[in-house]
Amino acid sequence: MGAAGTNKAVDWLVSAAADPGSCRWEWERNPLGVALLPAGRLWDVLIADAALAAAALAVLTRLLDRPGPVLADSAGARTGFFVPPGTVAHWLGTGVRGAGRGTWIAVPHPGRTTGGIRWLVPPDGTGTLTDPCVLELALHEAVAWRAAEG
């Protein structure tokens, strides 16, 4: 992603914060390079174990030109898909946790690497999110694919 794309992504992400300047300050000053942003305003996050999420992301990238933002933790244990706000309140899938209204997400700067979390699919600044119906189908296909490899 070039500088203009990174700037758009930063602008979009900080627009979720009550104080965008504070978010930018956190990215500059925090040694981990992350800021806490509220979920439920511009996005919710559906979180799956990394193996399932990797298979689902492979399905998503075949189905979509570009899925919404996707985060992975440094331990490689969990992956989060950014979906429209309100999704978590209606999600019924087993084995997938949600972060919605009233929760916070540790978010790295989209243009830098950090030791804590990383973008598998960085935000593009347009507000593109993954459609939860398409994500659900991708998760089902990923489970079936993993079971077949079994």
pLDDT at 150 (0 to 100): 63
Q: Is the dihedral of CA 27, 115, 101, 136 positive or negative?
A: positive
pLDDT at 111 (0 to 100): 80
Q: Is residue 145's pLDDT more than 70?
A: yes
pLDDT at 1 (0 to 100): 58
What is the residue whose two structure tokens read 């440094």? 74
Please state whether the predicted TM-score (pTM) of the whole model is above 0.85. yes
CA 72 remoteness from chain centre? 8
- Spatial distance between the Cα atoms of 23 and 46, rounded to a whole number of angstroms: 22
In sequence order, the β-bridge partners of residue 97 are: 47
Half-sphere exposure of 133 (CA within 13 A, CB side): 0
Residues with Cβ within 8 Å of residue 59, at least 6 apart in sequence: 137, 138, 141, 142, 145
Question: Which tens digit of pLDDT belongs to each residue from 87-143?
Answer: 999 998 778 999 999 999 999 988 877 777 899 999 999 999 999 999 999 999 998
